[in-house]
Each structure stands twice: as C-alpha cells, then as structure tokens.
Structure 1
Amino acid sequence: MRYTLPVAVFTAAFPISVQAQGVEDFFLGRLILAAGLSPAPEAAVPRAVTVVTGEDIRTRGIDQVAEALRFVPGVAISRDSGPGGMTQLRLRGTESRHTQIIIDGVRVEAAQDGYADLGGLQTADIEQIEVIRGPQSAFFGSNSIGGVVSITTRRADEPGVSGQTALEAGSDGSVGLNFQVGVRDERGGLTLSGIARNQGGWDISDTPGGERDGLRNRTLSLSGDWQVTENWRAGFLLRARNQNYDFDQFVFGAPTVDEIIADAPFTGRVQERIGSVFAEGDLVDGRLQLSLRASRFTFDRQTFDAFPSDTSTDRNEFAIRGVWALDGATVSRSRHTLGFGVDRISEGFVNNDADLVFDPAQLERQSRRVTGAALEYRGNLAEGLDVQAGVRRDVNNAFRDATTWSVGLSYAIPETGTRLRFSGGTAVQNPTLFAQFGFANNFEGNPNLLPERSRGWDIGVDQQILGGQGTVSLTLFDNRISDLISSAATETGTTPVNIEGTSRHRGAELALDAQATETLRLRAAYTYTDARNPDGERLLRRPRHEGTLGVDWQATEATNLSLDMRRVVNNLDNEFSTFVGVPVRLPDYTVFNLSANHRINDRLTLTARVANLTNRRYQEVLGYAAKPRTVYVGLSTRF
C-alpha cells in the first residue's frame, strides 16, 4: 500500500506556481502546506521550515508527535507527567501557547489554555509534520508568535482497496495496534484510520515501589474527498481521540527536592473531537483558485486529584481563501499572485461540574469571537529571487483589535548550491479563556487582559553539500514580546497580568541532513536559545543548548538501523521546596534511541526499538523522572 500527502486535494485549489521554479529544480523540494495562505514549494518559502516525514518517523521508531519534534531545531519539549499527561512545546523560547498546532487544516490548541495536548498524540497515522518558525500571525492569526506546527495525516492514494496494520509490545507492558484502510478511484476516496495503545509508562515520582503512570489512547479518523465536477473538489474529516492517563502529586513546600513529586493514584481523562468539511475550486479559466472550509474542534478534560477539574472548550471556524494570478496567467503558471482570506472564529469555555466551583456564576459558559481578513503577495521578481508579503486585520469582541504583517525574501544561487533567506514580521497572542475567566485553587481570571504582541525576524542560509545529496542550514533569530502575560500575587492566590517591558528571545539554529553514501544518512541539529523576561532573567524550561545527532544505515536491502542522540545543556526550572519558586539548573543529560526495521517480504516488516538505550536517569521538569530504558518489538503488514 502507498500512502501519500493529500497533495491532489490541496493542489486542486492551489497548484504549485512556477514562480518558485525560476531556478529550475533548484531547492524545489516538497510542497509546504502551511507556507502561508496557500501551499507553496519549499523553494518559495523564505522562512525557517523543517519537515518530518512519515517515512522518517517510522524508520526511527517514533511513536508520539512530541518525540518527533524533539529533533527539530528551535524546539524544546518538556513533560511533567507520564506518557499521556502535560507535554509542552516551546518554539524559539516562546511560551507553549505561542505555537499554533494544526491537524489537516484544523487548529487543535485548546482555547482554555492556548496549547495543544501533545501528551498522547500518536504518529501512526501521520504522513508529514511541518514546523514553520518565527511570527506567523499575518497568515494564521493568534497563537503563532513562535510559529506553526502543521500535521497532515495519511491518505490512501492507490486505486482500489489498500491498507496496513501494525502491532507492537513493550517491556513496560505497552501494547499498541493501529490500522489504515482506504479505497480510491478516479473521482475520489475514503480513508479510515484507528489507533489503540495501552502504555505501561513509568513512575514519574521515582518513588521506590511506586506505581507506574501510564496511558490508554484510542484514536479513530475518517476522511474523504470527491471530485464533484471538473473544477470542484469537496471533502471531509472526522477525528476522535479518547485518552486516560496517570499522574502524581506535586507537593508545594516539600522538605527536599526529591520529595516535590509524591507517588499518587491520580488520573486524567481527555476527549478530543475534530470535524471539518471543505470545497476547493478552479475558476476564471484557472486564474482564480478558491477554498472554503468549515470546522469544529472540541476538547474536554477531567482530572481526578486533590483539586479535581472538569472543563470543556470548543472552537468553530469558517474560512474562505483564494489565490488570484496577477499577470493574466493561470495560478499554476503565474509569477505574481495575490492570496486573500477571510475567517470567523468563535471559542467557548465552560466548567461542567457544580461540585467543583466556588460560585454558581463560574458555571456560565464564556465565549468570544474574532473575524479576520488577510492578504498575501507572492512573486518571482528575478531569476532565483522570490518574495512573500502579508498583512492581516483581526477584529475581536473581547479585547482590542490587531493588525499584523509579515515579509520574506529568498535568493537562490544555483552555481554554488546556496539559498539566502530573510523573514520578519509581527504577531499577536490573545489571552486564553482560562486566563480571562477561569478559576482554580487560589487562582482568579482577569477579563481585562491585553493580547500579547511580538516583533521578530530571522536570517538564514541553506547550502547544498555532497553534490546536492545533503543540505546544511544556519539561521539566526530574534523575537521580542510585549504585554507578556504572567502571574501576580493577590490576597487569596494569583491572577494573570500583563507585565511591563519587553521579553527577548534570540538564538541560532543549525541543521544538517545528508545522504553521505548510498547506505548512510546523517542528521544533526543544534539550537542556542537565550530567552529572558523584561527584568533580564532567563525564562524556565528553555535549554541554553540542545543538540541532536542521527544516523540511518541501510545495512542490507531488507534491514535498516537508526541511532539518535539528544544532548541538553543548561536548562532551568523552579524549585518549590520553600513555596516560592527559585530558579535552579537541572543536570545536563544525553539520551540515545535505537531502532531497527527488517522487511521479511513485500508485505511483512519486523520492527524493534529501544528508547533511552543507556537507561539515563534525567529530568526535563524538576522532580519528574523521565522515561527509563524501554524495549519494543512489533510487526507491520500492508495489503
């Protein structure tokens, strides 16, 4: 079976423009779906972009999206729970709420707290992950100060019926099963995917004799597309995820650091639902491409601990996007295009359980809406010289309106295999609904919060090596955020406030991906991050240095081995043994992962992997033990 990106679906409305092909085939690369208001070839995207393919994920034995993102430059992941609990992504030193997460065109960060639940997001049905770094609000609105992560799931692309299944078991008691089955003809297709995974986990409190904190995940997805007429295509997506996970108790004022996390039988429950319909068309003899999409996202979370909670958030979105060829050609052959988009988003948040609130008024549903309009110009100004510029206006009913902009420029030099790029712009982050209206133990929302604002830039170079068999990339970045939302003490606890001054996030990213020989592929990434608040103090959980190395070896025609190393140096977190958080440096660490795949025949493949090969004891968040050595074996089949 062959699964590919649903490129046919996207290019039905947004074909690849030849403006990106001014230098024939040079750095043409893959199609970047989140390039702006419409997809674009990698060569035409003047921004720092990293793509993790489904093939990479499966070759390296990566089972969760968060684990795949750890090897992307500019990304810092922290997990303060077992395999299914809170897992936060910080892009270029910004907050986790500053990165927008998209699955098949639908935003999935919860309006309650502003970040997506990466804790149990599995990779089994994923075909591609795009990470676009830097301010992106001109194209994507709020929640994109740090950038955007766009995830595309697998779709059947071969005529007829096809599919695949995989089964895996782990030394921690884990058992996982996933499947995809699809049908396609010349007019369209359907794909059904399912994931069932019980993960034994580990004791995050690291208490002798403590119970393991595990995960139970069930994910089901159904998608389809249909060529309604010669010029119009329509489709849909339905996706559901149910998840149960375990976690332990955080103890404020614990006498020692080792006792900050206490073993406890606490559990959490997540229900996530995604629904989307779209139509895409080719109008005016190909000079206009138009896309319409309506989507709904809901996220329900319950926690059963010392301070239980039961909340629900939802987001409804309707969007129209299009591309117009400015030079009279078709969009697919135009050197100058104008993209446009209009969207309307409504978000809601509610506390569900009357027994868990202090005042009946806290059960009222809180909601807000925003209407946005955006323009984007893309042009090939000269041979190898591409430009992208965009502007967006957001009209809010709950706080002040915002205008954001973005500009990018890239220049390719085919004689030397070099591409120079620059991008800069502004971004906005609306306060989360919980920050505005929520409550918790000793916490009070603040409906008068202002949106956070940022202005950032990056400059980089991509250099081909080994005769075009590899690429080295270097990027320098700087992002400054004002009206940053933080916590302030009150008589009864804390409340969110906008802090005065500007926080600064700057650093450097280095990446290597090279096919060194016919059988050996080398991968490397390094990120230097210096993120500070307006007082000049370093922000927590942003390692100063983080680097990765990877080797893929095609040992035989049927056998592949992969080894990955990740090194983290100079990471800070708060120590709460005296009730007041005091920044402390966490121990540096190095982690190795090993995976192997052996193709038994054209249909069967045997897999094996070892996470944390050397059984390194380390912490990403103070007090929380990270994953110990775990061995997995599996078998996959295709038909």
Structure 2
Amino acid sequence: MISAAAQAQAPEEQAASSVSNEDIVVTARRKDESLQDVPQVVNAVTGAAIEKLNIQKFEDIQTVVPGLSLASGSSGTSTRLSLRGVTYDSFGSAPPTVEFYMNDATIFGTLLFQSMYDIGQIEVLRGPQGTLRGRAAPSGSITVTTRRADLFDVGGYVNGTATDRGGINLNAAIGVPIIKGAVALRLAGIVDQNDYDFVKSVNNGTSPFSNSRGGRASLRIEPSDNITANITYQYLDRQQKAFPGVESMVISQPGAAVGTGPFLRAADRRGITDGAVTIDEQQQVLNGQLTWRFAGQRLDYVGSLTFWDSKTSTPQDLANLIPGTELRQNVETDFQTRSNEVRLSSDERLFNFLDYTIGVFDFWNRSTNDIDNVGTLIDTYQRRHERSFFGNLTAHLGENTEISGGIRKITFKSADRMTLTAFGIDLLPYVERKHTPTIYNASISHRFSDDFMVYASTGSSWRAGPLTLGVFRPLTPNLDRFLNIRPEKSKSYEVGFKSTLLDRRLTLNVSAFHQDFDGYIYRGAPVNYVNLGRTGESLNVFNFQANVPAKVNGVEVELAYKPSDRFNLSASFAYAKGKIKNGEIACNDSDGDGVPDTGPVTIGSIKAASGGDAVAACSVTQRLSYAPNWSLVLTPEYNAPITERVSGFVRGLFSYYPDNPNDPTNAFDSVKAYSLLNLYLGIRDPDNAWEVSLFAKNLLNTKRTLTRGDRPQATFGVTNPAYGDYVSATYTRPREFGVNVRYAFGSR
C-alpha cells in the first residue's frame, strides 16, 4: 500500500516497494497535492503497485488496505463492503456507505468489481465524504483513475499472467500522439479467464468459470496551456458460472439431519444444486473531464454515462428436493446512470491566503428488473435523482496553518414501482419520495515543521432510507417500521498527525476517529413473519431493515521505513469497533423474551412475542460490522543488482486478520485468526522496462471457513430430509502459483 513514506526513490523502486511519498500526488480534495500534505487519511495504490503485486480484481485492493473489506456476490449484481467499522450490503437497496468514482465521476460499485487494467491510481479516502466529492458517504470514498495518453511520445505495455489453477490474464495498452503536444489517443484491453471461486457441485460435472473481455479508449486533448479535455469510453463483457458453496450442517450444529447426501466440509469447495448461477453482463461507461484555467481561476466539468445490462439465472432448489431438475429465478437488469458536475475554484489563492470551490452536482439513475421466479413474473422499476449545491473555503494562516470548511445542500428524489406482470397487478404502486438534507465538514491543520503536521476534523453525512420491497400484505406497526426506513444521519470527529523522521527514511502517520449514527440503516438476517394469502395466514421469511443507534471508534496507523537503498518496508494497521446499542430490529423470538433466538417459530409464537403483530421485535446490542475489528498489512521488498542491466528482487504481501465473530446474529460462523502471505520473486530491468516474476498467492495455504450459514439450505422454506441438512459456506482461496511477464516501452 502506498499510503506513507518519506524517502525519494527511483521510479522503479517506488513501484516495486509500493512505498513512496514525495512523488505521490493525490486528488483527495479535488486538487493535486502531495499525500503528506492532505489532513486526512488517504490510502493511495498506484498502477505500478497493482502490477507488481499482481492485483487482477478490484476487490483484491483489500489485501493492501487494512480495514477495507470488499466482496462481489455470486448473483453478479450484489456487493458487500466494510470500511471504518461499518458493513454495507447492496441487497439492502440503501445508498452505499462508501461511494465509488472513476476518473472523478460517480460510478456504480458493481461495475468496478471486475477485472482491472491500465490503472493510474486508486485512492481510498476514509471518513465522511460528500462536501467536495459527489455523493454523501459516511465511511469513505474510493476513486479510480485510468492512465492517459502521452501527448509527445508513443508508449505502452503488455502484461501477461498464467497460474497453475488455469487462470489466464492478458492486458495491454498503447498510446499514440495524434497531434504532437495537443491530441493523443490511448487504447487498452484485457482478456481474463479463471475458475472463479473453484466451487463445483456434486450434482453437476461442469466447472465454474469467469471470463471477461474488455477495452478502453482514452482521448486527451490540450489545444492550449489552459484547456484540457479527457474523454474515455470503456466496454466490458463478462460471463460467469458459479455454484453456491455448502457445508454439512452437522459440523457446526451437532444433531442436524444427515441424509444420503455426501458429507461436505467448506474446504471441499462443493455445492449440491443441479444448476449453477450464470451471469451474462455487458457494461459501457462514457466519461468526460474538461478543465479551463483563466485569470487565476479554474472551471471544471465532469460527466459520465453508464449502461449496464445483466442476465442472471440463480438456482432456487437449494435443498435439491427435485434431483436432476433445477428451479430457477431469471433476472434481466437494465441499469443506466448519468452524472454531471460543474466546479469553479481558485487556481491561485485569493488575497494570497484564501482558496475556494463552489459547484453543482446532478446524478440520475434508472434501473428495471424483469424477474421470472419459477414462473412468477414480476417487473420492478427504480429511479433516483440527486441534485446538490456545494462550496468549500480554505484559509491559509501563514505557511503552516490551514482552516477549511464546506457545505453541501442536497435534493434527493426517488420513485419505485413493482408489478405482477401476468395479472397486471401493482404489488407496489408508484411511490415517490423527496429529501433535502444538508451536510458539512470542517478541519484545521498545523505544520510544526516540514516533517510534522497535526490535524483535526469533523464532518457529517447522510443516506436516504431504502424502500424495502417483498412483503405484500397490509402493514402492521412492526412491519411498517421495519419496511419504511427513514434516512440515516451521522457525525464524525477525527484527529491525527503525519510525520517524516530519520532523514526522511521513516514515515509515521496516526489518526483516531469517533463516529455517531442517528438511525443507522441496518439490514438483518432472514426472520419469520405472518403473511396473508388466499388460504389465510402462513409463515414467510424476509430480510427486514431497521433504523438503529450506532457508534464507531477507531485508530489507523501507517508506517514506511527504508533503512537502505535495497530494502524497504511499509506497514499499515486499522482498528475500528462499531456497535449497535439498544437497537430495535425484526427478529425470531420463539419464547417471547425480547431476545433473538433460534428456537422453533410458529404463527402463534410470533403473535405472542409481538402482542398480535405480524413480526416480532427485539432490542439488541451487537457489533455493527461483519469485518474483523482490526487488521494488519506488511509489504516488504529487497532488491539487488545482478548485472548492470538486470536487478533481482523478492517482495511480499502479508495480511493478518484476528479472531472475528463475523455475523453478530449467527452463532456458528465465527472465524479464527488467520494470515495470508503472497510472495514474489523475479528479475527486472533497472529502468522498469520489463519484469519477469514467479509468485505464490496464499503461499502458506491458509485454510479458513470465512462464512457459514446458521439455517439449512431450503427450497421455498422446505428442507430435504432424505438428502440431509447443509448450510451455505465460503472458504479462503487455495494456494496458487503463477508467472507474470511485463514489458513496457516508450512513455508507457
């Protein structure tokens, strides 16, 4: 991770060690600044580090950024992430706790959770965002910048990887000046195929896979010294097949049913469905950036258009009640977004001490889903439109002290509809909502010397409450409060320092933060409720949501040390403890004591526990995040010359995760402490023109069950007594060996 260091290095050494400082420029505050000058925590991972550590998937950025957890769901449309002690699951339909940006424009997170190539830099900004950058996000923002063409020289690269587990990744790019010094074009592409998560089904002989093909064209135009335009078009086509992994329930819950089905451990990487989850998706992203500098001012425009089409087929016979035949849910998704932002800011300080930024932001997205759930046809429609005005003012009191504050006024509108297609019945009539929140931020920093800065900041954030769909019966008081969720508000406070020591060979950055949530949007585990159908009352299961009070406290430490020209080491540590205190959530409460339990649930027990309501409610005090409270990342590298034209190197990537209770509502999926070690050994050109490396990912072959369900796999609520009880399970990726060859030329 390139989040801290103080030494100046040769370019190839910076890329290899993932450590630098003076030469790393970030845009955390929408302007180019040295990383150590920004009074907030920013983790920057350069494109060179991505190549050196052979990071091929976006979610693998979590291996170099402690406290960050990223995962894409097997459905192809879901994401799960954690940062600063808060977990977000896109299935909850609330806005994310972390917003994503590509080339400065808002982008839907799922579109990034695919193969990566030709990346310039990724920045992870921690803490509330939104006063200066797009949409409000309480936990942070992640920005991705793609490489641009050189206006003067031809350049490019070819990068190929092959592994012993059938993985093939080939990506390349070439940039060409069209009008030297004024117009240039860069073309990049990728071919990526692998066995996804290696989970196979005992009832299906085919193997899982994920195949991606993509390309990107970037046009750079600079007709004069004060006008710059960058236009990027990106296309990606992906097909995927995957099987839901399971484990015999008796492993975690002695006494569970054991039938004729095979005994399976999570380590076996096996499923039991006859069919696989299949995904066929295409995405297109058009992005434009325009800058005009005039009279000491700067006018910026950033806009994007996104088109995403996905066809997902998911097996529904999870208990294999009907061997040899698969029941399916087929979903066709059409997703479109449009964003526009105009900013006016000072390019030169006003009155020699004042910087300002003002602007307007407009974001619109529409999604439709055609759902065929085992013959039941449902259409859904969602539209979101967000418009905001923002401003930020920074006063420089001398050369060493800075006071900054910003505000953003948001107008958020949404519209939702759900229709039972076959009968033309509106399960959810057209519903519109509107909110007009205001968020703010303020900070102060003081530099006691060129090598030591302290800062303090505070900020607020906001998320719109989701409209929870799926319960189609008259609402009771409990159903109403667990389905109609109000917006969430939060406030955060942070202090920290950034320092360089030992003749700029050591960098140490430390921060501490506290965050309060008013009405945190919580999505719970599936619970039973009383449904009303044509034949009367029946038990159904649903993932309800709730507004709960929550707090997070945390500490983050970044250290980089270069004791010699041949060895360097960076270490990063993140601790965040989030807690819900006395939050009212929907629950299964078989004995009516107000505490969630796993006892048998009946219509009578629900009514008894809830006073006649359709769903029980419990007061809980529990963890806020599924991620570990803390994690540690180490990235050492040693390099030495072999000849005048060849250098040798060995580098490592070590991540440590402590014991983790995981899902606070699931007593059976606690994860024991584990570590992951990647090792890279190879040779390279001293000028970084080529590199050949052998690598091992999960070198120690660490084996851990990462998630485990607490309920047996069922088909429409019915288990398979003959086949036996299984629970969902995921496992660490197996050890993988590979070779990487990279060649770069010209401006690269």
Normalising by structure 2, we get a TM-score of 0.72
Which of 18, 26, 29 is residue 35 of structure 1 equivalent to?
Answer: 29
Name which of 84, 87, 97 aligns with 1:92. Answer: 84
- Distance (Å, rounded) in 2 between the aligned partners of 1:208 and 1:414: 67
1:151 is displaced (CA, Å) by 1.0
**1:284-339 Cα distance to aligned partner (Å, 9 max, x none):** x22x210122211233333222233222322111110110368646xxxx531110
Pairing 1:373-384 to 2, within 5 Å after superposition: 373-384=389-400
Query: Residue type matched to 2:187 in 1?
Result: L
The more displaced of 175-184 and 297-306 is 297-306
- Whether contact under 8 Å (2:500, 2:508) holds in the other structure is yes
Task: Report the CA distance between 1:119 and its aligned residue.
Answer: 3.8
Deviations for 1:527-559, whole angstroms, at most 9, x for unmatched residues?
222112233301342102211222111132522
> Partner residue of 1:60?
53
Q: Residues 74 and 564 from structure 1, CA distance in 2 versus in 1: closer, same or farther, beyond 3 angstroms?
A: same
Query: Which runs of structure 2 are paired with 1:300-379 in the superposition (5 Å)?
Result: 300-306=309-315, 307-324=329-346, 328=350, 334-353=352-371, 358=376, 362-363=379-380, 365-379=381-395
> 1:333-370: CA deviations, max 9, x gaps?
x531110110111111111356778465x34x321211
Aligned counterpart, 1:585: 670
When the two chains are superposed, the root-mean-square deviation of aligned CA atoms in Å is 3.2
> Could you tell me whether the CA contact under 8 Å between 2:679 and 2:699 is conserved in 1?
yes
Deviation at 1:503, TM superposition (A): 1.1
Give the C-alpha shift of residue 485 in structure 1: 2.2
Deviation at residue 129 of structure 1 after TM alignment: 1.0
CA distance in 2, matches of 1:636, 1:326: 41
Kindly state the Cα deviation for residue 133 of structure 1 after the two structures are TM-superposed.
0.3
2:184 to 185, 189, 201: 189
1:262 and 2:296 equivalent? Answer: no
Question: For the pair shown, which has the larger CA radius of gyration, 1 or 2?
Answer: 2
- The 5-angstrom pairing of residues 109-258 of structure 1 reads 109=108, 115-122=109-116, 124-142=117-135, 144-157=137-150, 159-184=152-177, 185-204=180-199, 212-249=207-244, 254-257=249-252
1:30-82: per-residue Cα shift (whole Å, max 9, x none)?
Answer: 3322324x444434421111111122222222222322332223313456669
Match of 2:39 in 1: 46
Distance 2:354 2:22 in 1: 17
Q: Is the 1:78–1:621 Cα contact (8 Å) retained in structure 2?
A: no
**Aligned letter for 2:654?**
M
Which of 496, 519, 541 is the aligned partner of 1:493? 541
Q: Is the 8 A contact 2:508 2:558 kept in 1?
A: yes
Change (3 A) 1:325 1:604: closer
Give the alignment of 1:7-18 within 5 angstroms: none
Does the CA contact (< 8 Å) of 1:242 and 1:270 recur in 2? yes
1:472 aligns with 2:508: yes
Aligned to 1:101: 100
AA paired with 1:486?
Y
8 Å contact from structure 2 (residues 629, 660) kept in 1: yes
Match of 1:624 among 727, 730, 745: 730
In structure 1, which of residues 448, 453, 462 is the aligned counterpart of residue 498 of structure 2? 462
> Which of 373, 378, 401 matches 2:436?
401
| Residues 79, 620 of structure 1: 8 Å contact kept | no
Whole-angstrom CA distance in 2 between matches of 1:85 and 1:316? 19
Q: Any idea what SS the aligned residue of 1:558 has?
A: strand
Q: Distance in 2 between matches of 1:116 and 1:366?
A: 17
For residues 197 and 36 of structure 2, the distance between their equivalents in structure 1, rounded to whole angstroms, comes to 43
Give the distance between the partners of 2:349 and 2:640, measured in 1 at CA: 51
Cα deviations across residues 417-452 of structure 1 (Å, max 9, x unaligned)? 2211222100112345xx555799xxx999843222
Report the equivalent of 1:527: 574
For 1:158 and 1:559, locate their aligned partners in 2 and report how far apart those are by CA, in whole Å. 33
1:123-181: CA deviation from partner (whole Å, max 9, x where unpaired): x3112111110001222353521101111112233623221112221101111111110
Q: Distance in 2 between matches of 1:348 and 1:376?
A: 30
1:271 alignment partner, one of 279, 282, 290 = 282
In the alignment, structure 1 residue 482 sits paired with structure 2 residue 476:
no
Distance 2:448 2:640 in 1: 36
- Letter of the 2:649 partner, please give it: N
Residue 715 (structure 2) pairs with residue 614 (structure 1): no
Pair 1:325–1:520, CA change in 2 (3 A)? closer
Aligned to 1:20: none
Structure 2 residue aligned with 1:506: 553
Deviation string 1:600-631 (CA, Å, 9 cap, x unpaired) is 69754212211000111123333201211111
8 Å Cα contact 1:100-1:147 kept in structure 2: yes
- TM, length-normalised to structure 1: 0.84
Match of 2:417 in 1: none
- Structure-2 change in CA distance of 1:357 and 1:518 (3 Å): farther
Aligned partner of 1:452 in structure 2 is 488
State how far apart, in whole Å, the 2-side matches of 1:450 and 1:326 are. 43
Question: C-alpha separation between the residues in 2 aligned to 1:504 and 1:278?
Answer: 38
Q: Which amino acid aligns with 2:302?
A: R
Equivalent residue for 1:390?
406
Of stretches 348-357 and 213-222 in structure 1, the one that deviates more from structure 2 is 348-357
Asked if structure 2 preserves the Cα contact closer than 8 Å seen for 1:182 and 1:190, the reply is: yes
Name the SS of the counterpart of 1:225 in structure 2: strand
Is residue 659 of structure 2 the alignment partner of residue 567 of structure 1? no
Whether the 8 Å contact between 2:669 and 2:707 is mirrored in structure 1 is no
Checking the alignment, whether the CA contact within 8 Å between 1:250 and 1:262 is kept in structure 2 is yes
**Shift in alpha-carbon separation, 1:79–1:628, aligned structure 2, 3 A:** farther
Distance, in Å, in 1 between the alignment partners of 2:105 and 2:693 is: 32
* Alignment length (residue pairs): 587
Q: Go from structure 1 to structure 2 and tell me whether the alpha carbon gap of 1:189 and 1:420 turns closer, same or farther (over 3 Å shift).
A: same
Partner amino acid, structure 2, of 1:92: R
Return the offset for 1:215. 1.7
The amino acid across from 1:571 in the alignment is N
> What CA distance in whole angstroms lies between the structure 2 residues aligned with 1:386 and 1:367?
41
After superposition, the Cα gap between the structure-2 partners of 1:473 and 1:324, relative to the gap in structure 1 and judged at 3 Å, is closer
Deviates further, 192-201 or 221-230: 221-230
The one-letter code of the counterpart of 1:61 is N
- State the one-letter code of the partner of 2:542: T
Cα pair distance change 1:496/1:134, threshold 3 Å: same
Residues 105 and 303 in structure 2, CA contact (< 8 A), matched pair in contact too: no
- The separation in 1 between residues aligned to 2:284 and 2:58, in whole angstroms, is 18
- Contact persistence 1:92–1:146 (CA under 8 A): yes
Give the whole-Å Cα distance in 2 for the aligned partners of 1:252 and 1:199: 23
SS in 1 for 2:683: strand
1:293–1:564 distance in 2 versus 1, CA, 3 Å: closer
Q: Secondary structure at the residue paired with 1:228?
A: strand
**Distance in 1 (alpha carbons) for counterparts of 2:187 and 2:281:** 22
Name the counterpart of 2:606.
none
Give, in whole Å, the separation in 1 of the partners of 2:388 and 2:374: 36
SS in 2 for 1:72: coil
- Contact 1:86/1:117 (<8 A) preserved: no
Contact residue 480 and residue 505 of structure 1 kept, 8 A: yes
One-letter code of the match for 2:492?
Answer: G
Change (3 A) 1:205 1:426: farther
1:62-105, Cα deviation, whole Å (9 max, x unpaired): 222322332223313456669x8966331101233211111111
